[in-house]
Amino acid sequence: MRGFLVLAARILVSAALLYFALRGINFADIQSRLAQNSRIWFLSWMALSVVTILVQVFLGAMRWQEISVHCQAPLVVPRAFRYNMIGTFFNQTLPSTIGGDAVRLWLVSRTAGWKHATYSVLVDRAVGLIALAFLVVCSLPWSYRLISNEEGRLALTLVDLAAMSAGLGFLLLGYLPWRWLKTWWLTHHIHACSLVAKRVLFNYQSGPKIAALSLSVHILNVVTAWCVVHSISAPATFAQLFMLVPPIALITMLPISIAGWGVREATMMIAFGYAGLDQTDGTMVSLLSGASTFVVGAIGGLVWILSSEKKEHVPDAIPKVD
């Protein structure tokens, strides 16, 4: 019953936010602008956005492969990429933005065990969050120039502070000597993941590689949005998108909607407005970016259908780590 209520709440959140974002769209303006370009122009830029997301998934697989070695759940890059593609599919079909992570965890656990599989996925997620928060912090001076609205600046600062606090707090756990961190079941495993993350990030061999891959993954989010902007001939520059897209990605991580739908559109619409851009363009860029991600998820679905892992059923619940 509780699961049903959570799912219903997320559906309502997605529906309400989508309605909020869609009601202000000037479809006549969008159609007029699209009419100025050929259909090939639109489809070419949208195809490029799909290719960009595929490259993003591949770079994410390279990062995960590097992290998995330190978690005693070693993966080769082709397998990590295949699992990431399957995870992308389940991110679109399960009622959560982390459904794909649960499936990735299950896939790795078949050969490495639940504990090491869990560590590899959680550390991969944590490193991605830290890199995204770092990117937003570094761009704050330019973001403040772009966003003159005080409420927008405050919201941007609070979101980034929350993300940085979570990321740095996670890393700090690895330095704390408190004995109870290793005694309680939950804190014991979080502490262990923190130690792995610290070992991965501050290693002179793996650290720079993982940092570069993580930043590249998030920058490709901006490239995807830039491709979509060109497809509809919206007057937004790459620099403007670089200031807006990473904070929106942070907010979209909140598990309050279905695969981020609604949250992403409403946030993009508001962010475009704060930056002095057309809010309709913001909503359309978000919707079309989501459509590109959906296409990549569909490709991931084909990978899942053709994979040997499909012969085994995904468990309804992930067992606790010992």
Percent of the chain with pLDDT over 90: 30
Phi, psi of 138 (to 5 degrees): -65, -30
The Cα–Cα gap between 91 and 74 comes to: 23
For residue 287, the model assigns a pLDDT of 86
Query: The whole model's pTM is what?
Result: 0.84
Please say whether the beta carbons of 221 and 238 come within 8 A.
no
> What is the sign of the dihedral through the CA atoms of 107, 223, 215 and 262?
negative
CB 103 within 8 A of CB 88: no
pLDDT score recorded for residue 185? 76
Is residue 58's pLDDT more than 90? yes
Phi, psi of 24 (to 5 degrees): -100, 5
Report pLDDT for 21.
Answer: 54
Lowest mean pLDDT among 163-167, 305-309, 315-319: 315-319
**pLDDT > 70? residue 161:** yes
- The pLDDT tens digits for 174-226 are 787 777 777 787 788 888 888 888 888 888 888 899 999 999 999 999 999 99
The whole-angstrom separation of Cα 121 and Cα 163 is: 18
Between 241 and 155, name the one with better pLDDT.
Answer: 241
pLDDT in tens, 74-120: 899 999 999 999 999 988 776 555 678 888 999 998 888 888 899 99
User: How many whole angstroms from its chain centre is CA 222?
Assistant: 12
- pLDDT over threshold 70, residue 15: no
**pLDDT given for residue 317 in this prediction:** 45
Section 277-285 average pLDDT:
84
Give the pLDDT score at 47: 96
Q: What is the pLDDT of residue 76?
A: 94
240 Cβ partners below 8 Å, 6+ apart?
A: 146, 275, 277
Single-letter residue type at 231: S
Per-residue HEC secondary structure of 44-111 comes to HHHHHHHHHHHHHHHHHHHHHHHHHHHCCCCCCHHHHHHHHHHHHHHHHHCCCCCHHHHHHHHHHHHH
Kindly indicate the confidence band of residue 299, based on its pLDDT and cuts at 50, 70 and 90: very high
What's the pLDDT at 16?
64
Q: What is the pLDDT of residue 261?
A: 67
Q: Give the residue, 146 or 219, on which the prediction is more confident.
A: 219
Per the model's pLDDT, the better-predicted residue between 200 and 254 turns out to be 200
Q: What local confidence, expressed as pLDDT, does residue 149 receive? A: 78
